[in-house]
């Protein structure tokens, strides 16, 4: 540590007093040191330091300024104290003189009243990074504790998760409800539209056996979407079993239609156009009747 | 609706020709309690010249079912117990030296019968297994230098213990493929077991089974089965099911790709169609529907699908794979 206190006199005024010290007084290359400068002066003036901002002058002294603080106080009437704390990174090797600076005094109007150059007689011993110094055990700094208490953090995180979960659940339910209602409305409408189109094709000369095949597909798609059963991949017996389980209105009519279609598809039966048209009407009627109770409900 | 005249006529003939099966079933139901599906499958195989592999733990009346079936159908029955020290000659027969004539004469083995129960086929070594399977395929046997045709109908019902049992030789896949169906014989239900216990726990001898079938009944039924109508849609459905066991990804079941080491052979398609026809015959129908195909799909495909390592690790059985295939392949 260096401690210097040159005294400067003036007429009828408290003479300014400057002290400087460095902590620690020895360091490894690349370490940080703190340089404390205290200036005592009269209450009618303020002090500032100059000379540290010039990189070329500091480089000559193997010092690099990396931080500074400044506090003022007036503990006694008629006197003031300015404290400067400068943080340096140090380089070089061996005894290094501390960098000089100039204390600039100003009156209360901001005019410079005097400039006092200051050179510390103390020096700093800088040690090189040798094998032995590299092996020194350096104490680890304890981990920084969060400024927010952990229980508060946990509850905040949990809260965020709960809110996110609720939002997702709400979105899922909303989507499902919208989809279900949309599909339920649509399955019947779609089937009716397809039946109308099929009727037009039949009038336009579509062979009746092809009509029955298409009719079977329409009915199966309708049953699959409307009753949520696997009808497209199921045989007629399986559909019969599933519909029985659900207790579907118009069960007999649905099964008759599917069995008729099976006869056309698999038993080489040849319906005429009139029979095909009747089956289409029957299918349309069945779909309408299955949708009515739901619409009323 | 105008029905095809030929099919209507065929339907009438089938109804008439399938009566003998009803009588045979009646005879069987007097002796066998439960196991209706197993009996139905045996009839199906018999009608289309197929062979059956039965798998199940001992004591489930497998032998009784087959013996009673043969008696009711008026067919010659032979039970062959396969053992590890068995030789092919014990099965097909051998040449015996006659010192009087100083010549060798063929002595026919137990395979010369209509219904063969090859009990615990996986207890015998590969040579014996292949001798039987060759007889199944060719319907003839060669002893010495002479070839003898086997009696018609010729049907083999082989039983095998689950392969994890000790002292068994696993049947090679190529030989398993020759069986039309593999039937898993399960335990009877509680009520069935109760009835079995009450009926069987007696010292009185059982009434003999009445033969109710004449040989021409079976040949006539077979001729009618050949005429059963198969729509091209159903044909394609059968092929779709079989191809789906090989390329499940093509049918939207990419998850099964890694589960199947290899799928069913083209023989599966043939047997699936034949069995579906016989199923339709039992339903007294002159045409096949996809219901017939689905009804026999498990029994026809399960021994032709080899689950891969991933399936075994997840304890996925062939039946699980078939179930998924049936649920995904669109029915015509």
Residue B15 counted as domain residue: yes
Q: Rounded CA gap, A90 and A22, in Å?
A: 12
Residue B280 counted as domain residue: yes
Q: Which residues in chain A are closer than 8 Å to B289, comparing Cβ atoms?
A: 235-236, 262, 266
- Smallest Cα distance from A224 to chain B, Å: 13
* Residue B120 tokens, joined: 């615990």
Q: In 3D, which of A118, A78, A116, A120 has the Cα closest to residue A96?
A: A120
Q: Is B229–A272 a contact, with Cβ atoms under 8 angstroms apart?
A: no
Count Cβ neighbours within 10 Å for each residue of B33-50 and write b for 16 or more, e otherwise: bbbeebbbbbbbbbbbbb
Q: What's CA B24's distance to the chain center, in Å?
A: 17
* Residue A238 tokens, joined: 């399986």
pLDDT tens digit sequence for B150-197: 888 899 998 887 655 666 777 878 788 889 999 988 888 888 888 888
Q: Is B229–A237 a contact, with Cβ atoms under 8 angstroms apart?
A: no
Most confident of A106-115, B18-27, B242-251: B242-251
Out of A235, A263, A265, name the one closest to residue B291 (CB).
A235
Q: Does B287 touch chain A (CB under 8 A)?
A: yes
Q: Rounded CA gap, B296 and B44, in Å?
A: 9
Q: What is the mean pLDDT of chain B?
A: 86
Instruction: Provide the residue range defining the domain that includes B144.
Output: 33-197
- Smallest Cα distance from A179 to chain B, Å: 23
What is the residue whose two structure tokens read 């179930």? B323
Q: Is A265–B327 a contact, with Cβ atoms under 8 angstroms apart?
A: no
Q: Which residues in chain B are closer than 8 Å to A238, comparing Cβ atoms?
A: 294
pLDDT tens digit sequence for B51-104: 999 888 777 778 888 888 888 888 888 999 988 888 888 888 888 888 888 888
pLDDT top residue among B207 and B147 = B147
Q: Does B326 touch chain A (CB under 8 A)?
A: yes
| B19 and B39 together in one domain | no
| B70 and B172 together in one domain | yes
| B267 and B122 together in one domain | no
Residue B178 sits in a domain whose CATH number is 3.40.50.300
- Smallest Cα distance from B326 to chain A, Å: 7
Out of A230, A238, A265, name the one closest to residue B233 (CB).
A265
The confidence score (pLDDT) of residue A295 equals 40
Q: Is A236–B289 a contact, with Cβ atoms under 8 angstroms apart?
A: yes
The confidence score (pLDDT) of residue A6 equals 43
| B119 and B39 together in one domain | yes
Q: Is B288–A266 a contact, with Cβ atoms under 8 angstroms apart?
A: yes
Q: In 3D, which of A100, A102, A66 has the Cα closest to residue A85?
A: A66
| B18 and B71 together in one domain | no
Q: Rounded CA gap, B119 and B117, in Å?
A: 6
The confidence score (pLDDT) of residue A158 equals 92
Q: In 3D, which of B18, B297, B290, B256 has the Cα closest to residue A258?
A: B290
pLDDT tens digit sequence for A14-33: 678 888 888 888 888 888 89
Q: Does B329 touch chain A (CB under 8 A)?
A: yes
Residue B58 counted as domain residue: yes
Residues in A whose CB is inside 8 Å of some CB of B read 230, 232-238, 260, 262-272, 275
Q: Does B67 touch chain A (CB under 8 A)?
A: no
Residue B211 counted as domain residue: no
- Smallest Cα distance from B229 to chain A, Å: 7
| B292 and B175 together in one domain | no
Contacts of range B137-141, beta carbons closer than 8 Å, 24 or more positions apart: B137/B178, B141/B92, B141/B93, B141/B108, B141/B109, B141/B111, B141/B112
The confidence score (pLDDT) of residue B45 equals 92
| B98 and B113 together in one domain | yes
The confidence score (pLDDT) of residue B280 equals 92
Q: Which residues in chain A are closer than 8 Å to B233, comparing Cβ atoms?
A: 265-266
| B136 and B237 together in one domain | no
Residues A88, A101 contacting (CB under 8 angstroms): no
Chain A interface, best mutation among B231, B280, B289, B297, by max A CB count within 10 A: B289
Q: Is B331–A234 a contact, with Cβ atoms under 8 angstroms apart?
A: yes
Out of B3, B291, B330, name the one closest to residue A269 (CB).
B3
- Smallest Cα distance from A267 to chain B, Å: 6
| B54 and B90 together in one domain | yes
Residues B331, A233 contacting (CB under 8 angstroms): yes
The SS3 of residue A254 is helix
Quote ipTM for the complex: 0.74
Count CB atoms within 10 A of the CB of residue B246: 14
CA distances from A63 to A32, A85, A101, A116 (A): 10, 15, 13, 21
| B148 and B256 together in one domain | no
Q: Which residues in chain B are closer than 8 Å to A269, comparing Cβ atoms?
A: 1-4
Count Cβ neighbours within 10 Å for each residue of A255-279 and write b for 16 or more, e otherwise: bebbebbbbbbbbbbebeeebbbeb
Residue B209 counted as domain residue: no
Q: Rounded CA gap, A114 and A104, in Å?
A: 6
Residue B220 counted as domain residue: no
Contacts of B25 (CB under 8 A, 6+ apart): B39, B43
- Smallest Cα distance from B245 to chain A, Å: 16
Residue B221 counted as domain residue: no
Q: In 3D, which of B95, B11, B56 has the Cα closest to residue B287?
A: B11
Q: Which residues in chain B are closer than 8 Å to A214, comparing Cβ atoms?
A: none
What is the pLDDT tens value at each position of chain A, 297 positions in all? Answer: 444 444 444 445 567 888 888 888 888 888 889 989 998 888 888 888 887 766 666 656 778 888 888 887 776 667 888 889 989 888 888 888 888 888 888 888 888 888 888 888 888 888 887 766 666 656 667 777 667 777 788 888 999 999 999 999 999 999 888 777 665 566 888 888 888 888 888 888 888 888 888 888 898 888 888 888 888 888 888 888 888 888 877 788 888 888 888 888 888 888 888 888 888 888 888 888 876 544 443
- Smallest Cα distance from A248 to chain B, Å: 22
* Residue B329 tokens, joined: 């392949």
The confidence score (pLDDT) of residue A2 equals 41
Omega before A160 within 30 of 0, i.e. cis: no
Residue B7 sits in a domain whose CATH number is 1.10.8.80
Tell me which chain B residue has its CA closest to the CA of residue A263: B3
Q: Which residues in chain B are closer than 8 Å to A264, comparing Cβ atoms?
A: 1
Q: Rounded CA gap, A196 and A211, in Å?
A: 12
Q: How many domains does chain B have?
A: 2
Residue B218 counted as domain residue: no
| B108 and B72 together in one domain | yes
| B159 and B189 together in one domain | yes
């Amino acid at each position: 540590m260096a401690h210097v206190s040159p005294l400067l006199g003036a007429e009828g005024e408290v003479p300014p007093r400057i002290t400087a010290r460095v902590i620690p007084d020895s360091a490894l290359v690349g370490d940080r040191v703190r340089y404390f400068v205290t200036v005592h002066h009269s209450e009618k003036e303020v002090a500032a330091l100059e000379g540290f901002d010039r990189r070329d002058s500091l480089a000559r002294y193997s010092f690099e300024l990396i931080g500074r603080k400044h506090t003022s106080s007036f503990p006694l009437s008629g006197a003031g104290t300015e404290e400067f704390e400068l943080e340096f990174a140090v380089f070089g090797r061996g005894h290094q003189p501390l960098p000089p600076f100039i204390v600039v005094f100003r009156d209360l109007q901001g005019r410079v009243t005097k400039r006092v150059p200051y050179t510390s007689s103390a020096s700093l011993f800088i040690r090189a990074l040798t094998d032995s110094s590299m092996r020194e055990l350096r104490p680890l700094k304890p981990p920084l504790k969060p400024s927010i208490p952990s229980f508060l953090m946990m509850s905040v995180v949990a809260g965020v998760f709960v809110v996110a979960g609720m939002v997702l659940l709400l979105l899922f339910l909303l989507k499902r409800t919208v989809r279900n209602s949309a599909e339920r409305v649509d399955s019947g409408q779609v089937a009716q539209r397809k039946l109308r189109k099929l009727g037009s094709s039949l009038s336009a000369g579509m062979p009746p056996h092809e009509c029955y095949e298409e009719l079977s597909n329409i009915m199966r798609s309708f049953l699959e979407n409307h009753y949520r059963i696997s009808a497209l991949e199921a045989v007629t017996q399986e559909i019969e079993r599933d519909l029985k389980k659900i207790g579907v209105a118009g069960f007999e009519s649905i099964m008759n239609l599917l069995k008729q279609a099976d006869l056309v598809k698999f038993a080489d039966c040849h319906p005429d156009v009139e029979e095909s048209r009747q089956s289409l009407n029957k299918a349309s009627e069945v779909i309408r009747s299955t949708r009515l109770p739901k619409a009323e409900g | 609706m105008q029905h095809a005249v030929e099919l209507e006529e065929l339907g009438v003939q089938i109804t008439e020709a399938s009566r003998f099966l009803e009588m045979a079933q009646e005879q069987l139901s007097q002796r066998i309690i439960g196991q209706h599906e197993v009996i139905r499958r045996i009839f199906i195989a018999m009608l289309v010249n197929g062979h059956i592999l039965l798998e199940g733990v001992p004591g489930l009346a497998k032998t009784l079912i087959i013996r009673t079936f043969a008696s009711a159908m008026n067919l010659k029955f032979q039970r062959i117990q396969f053992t590890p020290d068995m030789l092919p000659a014990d099965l097909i027969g051998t040449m015996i030296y006659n010192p009087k004539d100083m010549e060798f004469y063929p002595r026919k083995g137990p395979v010369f019968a209509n219904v063969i129960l090859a009990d615990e086929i996986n207890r015998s070594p590969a040579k014996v297994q292949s001798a039987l399977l060759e007889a199944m395929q060719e319907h003839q046997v060669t002893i010495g230098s002479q070839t003898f045709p086997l009696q018609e109908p010729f049907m083999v019902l082989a039983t095998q213990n689950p392969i994890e049992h000790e002292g068994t030789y696993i049947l090679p896949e190529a030989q398993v493929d020759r069986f039309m169906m593999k039937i898993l014989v399960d335990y009877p239900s509680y009520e069935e077991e109760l009835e079995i216990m009450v009926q069987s726990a007696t010292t009185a001898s059982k009434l003999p089974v009445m033969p109710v079938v004449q040989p021409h009944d079976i040949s006539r039924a077979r001729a009618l089965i050949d005429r059963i109508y198969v729509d091209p849609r159903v044909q394609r459905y059968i092929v779709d099911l079989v191809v789906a066991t090989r390329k499940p990804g093509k049918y939207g079941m990419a998850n099964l790709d890694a589960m199947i080491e290899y799928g069913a052979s083209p023989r599966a398609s043939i047997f699936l169609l034949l069995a579906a026809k016989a199923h339709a015959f039992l339903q007294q129908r002159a045409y096949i529907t996809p219901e017939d195909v689905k009804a026999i799909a498990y029994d026809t495909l399960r021994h032709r699908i080899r689950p891969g390592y991933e399936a075994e690790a997840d304890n996925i059985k062939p039946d699980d794979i078939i179930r998924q295939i049936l649920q995904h392949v669109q029915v015509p």
